[in-house]
Amino acid sequence: MTEKNEKKVICTRIDKTLEERMIKYAEIYGISNSDLLRKALRYYLRYAHKDETDSGFLDPSIIITKEDFSYLLDNLNEEEIEELSENGYKSALRGIKKYFEQMGNEDIDPLDLKIKNILPIMDLTLSYNGQNWLIDFNYSIQKEIITFTGTHSLNIKFSQYLKLIFSKILKPYKYKLVSERIKDNTIYLLFEI
């Protein structure tokens, strides 16, 4: 009988370009090539195919439509949504850094910025001005309180995903979630220091 976590070695060939990309991403995320390959395979198997009878996604990097992302979230458990939100958080930090680099500030670490400098970028990214994930998005900063409200056309798991992302973004600033109202297509979050 094999143990649940027993690992098996599988060999495969990859071209030079894919190898270079693998090495680059493993370095960016601070993980081994093996860990990256396992994550990539898990990602592909989890997100790239809906089921045997459906056409699925041809390429797992093309999870960009709201319908596909909604389907993805519907099929994830809490732990998987947490993992996805961690990737979303890291992606948000990279996006913030890229935004400031495009403005000529190449040496900025997003975590060194004040929260009042980050939230407008989040607004640009999530609202109709950017990627259009939220139909309506508002935030308010008042002394030691930050509130977020938004409306979207996805599902309650997207609301939970947003809650996790905002919590991760605010954590370095010592904000904690103290109140929430999450529904299928709306989100209200209140954070305090």
Give pTM, 2 decimals. Answer: 0.64
- Please state the φ and ψ torsions of residue 103, each to the nearest 5 degrees: -90, 0
Q: In the structure encoding, which two tokens stand for residue 159, read together?
A: 């609301």
Q: Who has greater pLDDT, 22 or 63?
A: 22
What was the pLDDT predicted at 160?
Answer: 93
The C-alpha atoms of residue 11 and residue 25 are separated, in whole angstroms, by 20
pLDDT over threshold 90, residue 18: no
What is the average per-residue pLDDT within 157-181?
93
Max mean pLDDT among 69-83, 88-102, 148-162 falls in: 148-162
Confidence of residue 175 (pLDDT cuts 50, 70, 90): very high
User: Over 80: is that where the pLDDT of 168 sits?
Assistant: yes
Beta carbons of 161 and 85 less than 8 angstroms apart: yes
Domain ranges, ordered by start, for the chain:
10-51, 63-192
On whether the CB atoms of residues 29 and 38 are closer than 8 A, the answer is no
Helices assigned H by DSSP within the chain: 16-29, 33-47, 66-74, 78-102, 115-126, 156-170
